[in-house]
Amino acid sequence: MGVFSRRFGLVAALAVGLAAAPIFAQQVLAQAPVRGGTLTVGVESDFEGFDPIRAGVYSNSTVTAASLFYETLMRLDDKGNLIPALALSMNANEDGTVWIAKLRPGVKFHDGTPFTAQAVADHFNRLLDPANRFAGRVYLAIEKVEAQDELTAVFKMRGPNAALAKTLAQPSVVTLIISVKALNEKGPDYNRNPVGTGPFVFKEWRAADRLIAERNPNYWDKDKPYLDRVIVRPLPDSDARYASLGKGDVNVIWEDRAENILKAKKDKSLVVLNWIGSGALVIPLNTAKEPLNDKRVRQAISMGLNRKANAAVLSQGLRPVYDDPYGPSSGIECKDNGALGYNPEKAKQLLAEYGKPVKLVHTVTATPRGREGAQVFQADMKKIGIEVTIKPVDQTQLVKETLSRDFLVSGWRIIDFPDVDPQMFANFHSKSPINFSGYNNPEVDRLLLIGRTQLDPAVRNKAYCDLIKILNDDVVWLWTGSNTDFAITRANVRGIPALRGGAVQVEGAWLAK
């Protein structure tokens, strides 16, 4: 859910890939790409809109759609290596306080306007402007962006930062570059009429039904896209989404139901793609509200929740549970992460010390995934004497209530980033507008600042291990599943890259005959 990053050495080492590449089931190209045709993608929810400030967040469904129209400065290949996109290169000065992006010449927005360094500056400076009250700016450690010349954008950082190029390569609400010129011309209508540089041009959006995009004939990568048209359909019911794939009504679906994924693995007419990134499925606790402002209650919840056994049932082994959100792709391994472990008897003792009845409301998405997870949480809490009421809401409402801290217990997902800094800083720094758990710990703030500004990976990794030990002891969030994303395609679909952030990106997709 959450919208919105692996540091690496500076200058000469900037293009070094991740030490441990995530697992990704790749399709083998049996023939040269075929041109033409329509690809229909089934996603979990409707779209928030395509002005990042008005939308506020981009779900994985919105990133899937936005990636048709918008692009990032750099990209990551399936092994995590930086490759050029709108920028041919991004390099930092010696102390990592300034980054210079050299842009690709000849790129144009869909309305024919040239893509320039000023357009890059306009996009990022708009997000960074405090007057726009865009909470997602916390994901960026940028002070401002300037146009040095037509094709050179200069990123001036708030402090040393070794992660910018990879952070900006991840498609997200802050990194997919819009046309601010077109936005100023269209006004509020722009949110439903996106203009970018991407491989497809916006054609139509029927709310809660479908979004239609057509091939950009002037795309800078002359070989792409291969498809003539892409349709993205919001299909909230996972079983209906899977049935649509089986009938051929859609060609690709994002999927999270273990039953459907396991069925697809046995179906020769389907192909399952998966990506294991950093991030996690999580249960945030509002540490600013009673009774969760008492550490004993939060620790009791942690010790009473059988996370690993529950995940084994709910995900049928597809999503292992870790005790941190770093994941195997981050390269961060903590020998002591401070995880409390499953201990219901100790949980009961802590609640007895608290001395008052504990009643919780668990807000979740009104989906099978949301309800099932909440029911498991409710059952475990009942065993230790905590009463839980389940509150199912649609995804938009859950995001609204969680970000406004109008919850006790919520359901959430933090997507993978090539570097963990943006997510950790955004979610746990006391001054962050996205710190919706209301958590305030000066030592955590200090460690987050080390993680953001230190250039030495060993120093950064130690800070993140010290950090997770504190977070696990304080029980700010509960880590309930690894961030593993799945898509299922018809057997003739080719060319879909790693599902970073759960987004199904189709700029290189094609349909085999």
pLDDT digit string, tens, across residues 287-297? 999 999 999 99
Q: Give the pLDDT score at 80.
A: 83
Decide if pLDDT at 16 tops 70.
no
Q: pTM to 2 decimals? A: 0.86
Sheet strands (E) in 166-217: 200-206, 210-215
Say whether 338 sits in a helix, a strand or coil.
Answer: coil
Domain residue ranges of the chain, discontinuous segments joined by +: 277-484
Decide if pLDDT at 48 tops 60.
yes
Which distant-in-sequence residues (6+ apart) come within 8 Å of 335 by Cβ?
A: 465
Q: Residue 60: exposed, middle, or buried by beta-carbon count in 10 A (0-12, 13-18, 19+)?
A: buried
Cα–Cα distance between 87 and 461 in angstroms, integer? 29
Task: Supply the angle between the helices 457-474 and 442-453 in degrees, to the nearest 10.
Answer: 150
Which residue type occupies 239?
D
Confidence of residue 5 (pLDDT cuts 50, 70, 90): very low
pLDDT tens digit sequence for 113-142: 999 999 999 999 999 999 999 989 998 999
Confidence of residue 18 (pLDDT cuts 50, 70, 90): very low
Average pLDDT over residues 494-513: 93
Cα–Cα distance between 393 and 402 in angstroms, integer? 11
Decide if pLDDT at 81 tops 70.
yes
Reading the block at residue 140, the tokens are 């960026």
Q: Give the pLDDT score at 2.
A: 40
Decide if pLDDT at 27 tops 60.
no
Q: Which of 468, 512, 473 is nearest to 489 (CA)?
A: 512
Cβ atoms 30, 140 nearer than 8 A? no
In 34-150, which ranges are continuous DSSP H helix? Answer: 52-55, 60-69, 117-128
Q: Which of 250, 255, 256, 254 is nearest to 210 (CA)?
A: 250
Cβ atoms 409, 363 nearer than 8 A? yes
Range name among 233-237, 288-292, 326-330 with the lowest pLDDT average: 326-330
Q: Give the pLDDT score at 58.
A: 86
Strand 359-365 to strand 387-393: parallel, antiparallel, or no bridges (unpaired)? parallel
Cβ atoms 249, 231 nearer than 8 A? no
Average pLDDT over residues 350-374: 95
Which distant-in-sequence residues (6+ apart) come within 8 Å of 6 by Cβ?
A: 18, 19, 80, 163, 166, 329, 330, 331, 418, 419, 420
Average pLDDT over residues 45-62: 92
Average pLDDT over residues 34-60: 94
Cα–Cα distance between 389 and 8 in angstroms, integer? 45
Strand 200-206 to strand 210-215: parallel, antiparallel, or no bridges (unpaired)? antiparallel
Q: Which of 474, 449, 452, 447 is nearest to 463 (CA)?
A: 447
Strand 142-149 to strand 200-206: parallel, antiparallel, or no bridges (unpaired)? unpaired
Calculate the CA 249 to chain-centre distance. 27
Decide if pLDDT at 229 tops 70.
yes
Tokens 């020769």 — which residue? 268
Average pLDDT over residues 414-427: 86
Confidence of residue 15 (pLDDT cuts 50, 70, 90): very low
Q: Which of 202, 61, 56, 196 is nearest to 127 (CA)?
A: 56
Decide if pLDDT at 41 tops 50.
yes
Q: Which of 426, 464, 431 is nearest to 447 (CA)?
A: 464
Q: Does domain 277-484 have CATH number 2.60.40.10?
A: no
Cα–Cα distance between 460 and 19 in angstroms, integer? 15
Q: Which of 304, 417, 402, 315 is nearest to 22 (CA)?
A: 417
How many other β-carbons are positioned within 10 Å of the β-carbon of residue 353? 11
Range name among 23-27, 41-45, 483-487 with the lowest pLDDT average: 23-27
Strand 359-365 to strand 409-410: parallel, antiparallel, or no bridges (unpaired)? parallel
pLDDT tens digit sequence for 190-204: 999 999 999 999 999
Which residue type occupies 185?
E
Cα–Cα distance between 198 and 224 in angstroms, integer? 10
Reading the block at residue 299, the tokens are 């620790």
Decide if pLDDT at 305 tops 60.
yes
Range name among 73-87, 230-244, 263-277, 326-340 with the lowest pLDDT average: 326-340
How many other β-carbons are positioned within 10 Å of the β-carbon of residue 489? 23
- The β-bridge partners of 274 are 486
Say whether 206 sits in a helix, a strand or coil.
Answer: strand
**Higher-pLDDT residue of 455, 109:** 109
Phi first, then psi, for residue 449 (nearest 5°) are -65, -40
Confidence of residue 367 (pLDDT cuts 50, 70, 90): confident
Reading the block at residue 185, the tokens are 């011309």
Q: Give the pLDDT score at 501.
A: 79
Q: Helix/strand/coil (H, E, C) string of 397-437?
A: HHHHHHHCCCCCEECEEECCCCCCHHHHHHHHCCCCCCCCC
Structural element, H or E, at residue 360: strand 359-365
Q: Which of 94, 101, 80, 103 is nearest to 161 (CA)?
A: 94
Q: Give the pLDDT score at 68.
A: 98
Decide if pLDDT at 17 tops 70.
no
Q: Which of 57, 70, 173 is nearest to 505 (CA)?
A: 70
